[in-house]
Amino acid sequence: MGRTMETIEIGASGVTASRIALGTWAIGGWMWGGNSDLGESIYTIRSAIARGITLIDTAPVYGFGRSEEIVGMALSEGLRDRAIIATKVGLEWRDGQVFRNGSARRIQREVEDSLQRLRTDRIDVYHVHWPDPLVPIEETAGVLRKLFEQGKIRAIGVSNFSPDQMTAFQSASPLHVVQSPYNLFERQIDADVLPSAKGHRLTVLAYGALCRGLLTGRMRPDTRFTGDDLRGSDPKFLPPRYPQYLKAVEALDDLARRRYGKSVLALAVRWVLDQGPTVALWGARHPEQLAPIRDVLGWHIDEEARREIDGILLATVTDPIGPEFMAPPARRRAKAPAAKTPRPRRTPATPSR
Ligand SMILES: NC(=O)c1ccc[n+]([C@@H]2O[C@H](COP(=O)([O-])OP(=O)(O)OC[C@H]3O[C@@H](n4cnc5c(N)ncnc54)[C@H](OP(=O)(O)O)[C@@H]3O)[C@@H](O)[C@H]2O)c1
């Protein structure tokens, strides 16, 4: 098998993308320790394209517009037609606080803002970032369907949706993609979203494929995170679990080297790709972080190795935890004044996504 980039059709949309995608949340700075270097970020995006990546994932909330703007800048000089831009909709922010808002009005405004920041006339994959419990899913879906019919978006996605929410969405709109957390340590979607996606011919964009850097092999017991870096409050990076996950990474790295002559990073991304109709989102903000892409291509994980991987996880991660810490909390509703109907109040989401 060669080392050319694998590709996949995004659902039945006719849009084809690379199976490794660049994630640009960290490039936005927010929740990753502050602003990234602009030149370095642009170089990272261009180097992703040079390495065969076509899908670039971003969102308005990543740096409150900054990530989308940088993606727009990086692709503006002749690269737009070589890229599949995936972005999102349905989170708003005020004074650094984030709220879900999947209303038709919000989406109609946001899509124009995103097109402008991205310096383009179309978005290739447009996701609803988080389901909004205050807006009927069918309302949100209906607006995306219209944008799709107008040609402003080429494929429709949802993110962080359950299969039931996906079904509700599909009653009002075509759906091509679901974006969910998925990696060797966070496998919750195996039980529901992944089988459902397979049954409905949806592509799964797996986010956190490197488990926020844990599965790269770079983390050490004394690694510290600065500023607003979300890993400072990620329970996998904190005692008592951090040593367990580090032990698992060490054993997985041994396995990868012994069986395949690869690193744990390559094993982690290959594992995501071998699970079904998936795309692995690889977050990076430095061009050299993408160099190991070549080690992911041209091989597969066999059954025996899979069993060994599962055994390692069982033996080392005795106190596993999922990615729930990133999920926005259920919103509080305002207390009803004696004689008035209560109005739902938008409460801030935790720093996530
Ligand atoms: N839909 C959603 O709700 C949602 C939620 C989360 C993420 N996402 C998307 O998924 C993308 C990927 O997820 P993620 O960024 O959270 O996490 P990730 O891809 O699991 O991890 C990214 C981090 O891993 C480290 N890394 C990458 N390559 C490396 C290498 N070669 N050597 C050492 N370290 C390396 C970098 O950390 P340092 O920069 O610190 O070195 C990088 O920022 C995001 O960028 C975003 O596009 C979507």
Q: Which of 62, 182, 207, 245 is catalytic?
A: 62
pLDDT for residue 343 is more than 50: no
218 CA closest ligand 1 atom index = 33
- Mean pLDDT for 142-154 is 98
Model confidence at 96, pLDDT cuts 50, 70, 90, reads confident
CA of 332 to the centre of ligand 1 (A): 30
Ligand 1 within 6 A of CB of 57: yes
Q: Is 245 a known active-site residue?
A: no
pLDDT for residue 94 is more than 80: yes
Q: How far apart are CA 158 and CA 120, in angstroms?
A: 21
pLDDT digits 0-9 by tens, 14-65: 999 999 999 999 999 989 999 899 999 999 999 999 999 999 999 999 999 9
* Burial class of 33 by CB neighbour count within 10 A (0 to 12, 13 to 18, 19+): middle
Neighbours of 136 (CB within 10 A): 14
Residue by residue, DSSP assigns 149-208 as HHTSBSSEEEES--HHHHHHHHTTS---EEEEE-BTTB-GGGGTHHHHHHHTTPEEEEE-
Model confidence at 205, pLDDT cuts 50, 70, 90, reads very high
pLDDT digits 0-9 by tens, 99-123: 899 999 999 999 999 999 999 999 9
Ligand 1 within 6 A of CB of 282: yes
CA of 269 to the centre of ligand 1 (A): 12
Q: Which two tokens stand for residue 194?
A: 């992944």
Ligand 1 within 6 A of CB of 289: yes
- Mean pLDDT for 170-175 is 98
Q: Which two tokens stand for residue 346?
A: 């938008």
The confidence score (pLDDT) of residue 335 equals 47
Model confidence at 125, pLDDT cuts 50, 70, 90, reads very high
Ligand 1 within 6 A of CB of 70: no
- Mean pLDDT for 264-287 is 98
Model confidence at 353, pLDDT cuts 50, 70, 90, reads low
- Whole-prediction pTM: 0.94
pLDDT for residue 180 is more than 90: yes
Ligand 1 within 6 A of CB of 349: no
